[in-house]
Amino acid sequence: PVTVNDLDIDDIKAGLADGSILIVDVREPHEFAAGHIPGSVSRPLSRFDPADLPNEPGKKLVLSCAAGVRSLRALEFAQSAGLDVDSHYLGGFKDWAMRGEPVEQG
């Protein structure tokens, strides 16, 4: 069974503000380029490799996609590879953008 820690926008904003989380966006490259949460890194689900996940000491990885479906799949992949990754942004980028939060492009 997959261990899932659902984070909401308040968790995400707090974690970004204090530098305790790193957001891994698993949407496809064109989606990421069109707009993403500032500071997030792109690791598309279509070629997702748990070994390629960033490792930043002291930061918890939080997976994010458009609405929380692909991030769950990526959590499954990461955990079946033995990684200690259990958090995702439940609302995903759609929630972030809908609430008028800053969006990075490129």
DSSP annotation of 53 reads S
Catalytic-residue membership of 96: no
| Residue of 7, 23, 65, 75 marked catalytic | 65
Distance CA 5, CA 7 (A): 6
Burial class (CB in 10 A: 0-12, 13-18, 19+), 11: middle
Q: Would you say 23 and 90 are in contact if contact means Cβ atoms under 8 Å apart? A: no
> Would you name the residues annotated as active-site residues?
65
